[in-house]
Amino acid sequence: MIYFDNAATTRPDEECLSAAAKYLTDKFYNPSALYAEGYNLHVELAQSRVNILSHIADPDDYSMIITSCGTEADNQAIFCGGRRGNIVTTMGEHAAIFASAQEAGRRGVEARFASLNEDGSVNVENLLSLVDEKTSLVSVIHVNNETGAINDINAIAAKVKAKNAHTLFHSDGVQAFGKIPFRLGANVDMYSLSAHKIGALKGTGALIKKKKLQINPYIWGGGQEGGLRSGTENVFGIKMLEFASEKAYKDIRRRAENISAIRERLWSLLDKNLFSRISPENGSPYILCVAAAGVRGETILHMCEDEGLIIGTGSACSSNAAKKHSRVMQACGVGTDLIDGVLRLSFCASTTVGEAERAAAILNETVQKDKDLTK
């Protein structure tokens, strides 16, 4: 089986699982407990946070709130950061931000949505036109989860702050963390990530925030996470995130270059009479979004699965949405002749050239077969 839906979730890394196993069996204690074993875990987790943070930010300037997932981290950023005036975000956001912004609008904080460029990146000029003296929060996705387009969040954040220095800036970094080399700039106040996108486990995410930033708690209770997200710490999940992020950031630039070459090899082998490319060449190496005219993406997905290839049709988190077509694809201006046939292929660090070549052959054969059957 060839698994090319890594933007939805990745296979847990076996080395990281082995290293973290003792936190399920031996070091199972409550880090908030007063006895020695619990306190020792508390100290160890404090260092784990520093280790994770150091990959993209200075731990002296930023702290980290551990959450249950990237969606929770995004929700906390929206509802605890955008509490007045208006929130500005984009039409290209993951549903965790887009739906939260819509809900904030129903709660009395106006939600404004910036348009997209054809590749799924935000139209920065349009975004800035929506920012005014009442804007409390701007949220811009770092890597579009459907097209792979990369937004220069540090540059955008600087422009937002130049227009309103009091506006908070957040970015959903779920598809960027551990995959593309970057560091948070001084104008980024909050940043979300998810563990299971980089070989760690579902059930763990994080909201990185500036230490000086004061936000309200999102979940109340025992006062964990500095009082900002109560609940007994998921030690096993945090250690998996630490180990997986360490592995992901080891030689991250070389890994990205290697996957980019594999992505381009796959694209080069796809029949251009059947497929159009939506993803930009300078986007995330880990995502290739294409579309085939005259077919349904869901049908092709299942036909490919029968041939041993697992792919996606867009965001897995919106697969149950009522709308027939992807909001993001519509915002990118994908035409009615292609929008039914959108497919997303997403890779991981262990993806091989051979897998890409076989996937291209399956896709070519499958789409051509489907078109022949529907003539």
Cβ count within 10 A of residue 324: 7
Q: Can you tell me whether residue 347 is helix, strand or coil?
A: coil
Residues in the chain: 375
Which residue among 289, 317, 332, 348 is the active-site one?
317
Beta strands, E only, the chain: 2-3, 62-67, 86-90, 110-114, 135-139, 168-172, 190-194, 205-210, 275-277, 287-292, 309-310, 342-346
Return the structure tokens found at 191.
């940043």
Taking residue 235's Cβ as centre, other Cβ atoms within 10 Å add up to 21
Cβ neighbors of 233 (< 8 A, separation 6 or more) are 30, 31, 32, 45, 66, 224
Question: Given CA atoms 227, 228, 233, 238 in this order, what sign does their dihedral have?
Answer: negative
Token pair for residue 148?
């792979």
Q: Any catalytic annotation for residue 289?
A: no
Q: Is 360 exposed, middle or buried (0-12, 13-18, 19+ CB in 10 A)?
A: buried
Q: Name every residue whose Cβ is closer than 8 Å to that of residue 250 and which is 6 or more positions away in sequence.
A: none
Q: For 123-136, give one letter per residue: b (16+ CB within 10 A) or e.
A: bbebbbebbeeebb
Number of H helices, E strands in the chain: 12, 12
In whole angstroms, what is the distance from residue 67 CA to residue 71 CA? 9
Q: Are the CB atoms for 241 and 272 separated by under 8 Å?
A: no
Residues belonging to the active site: 317
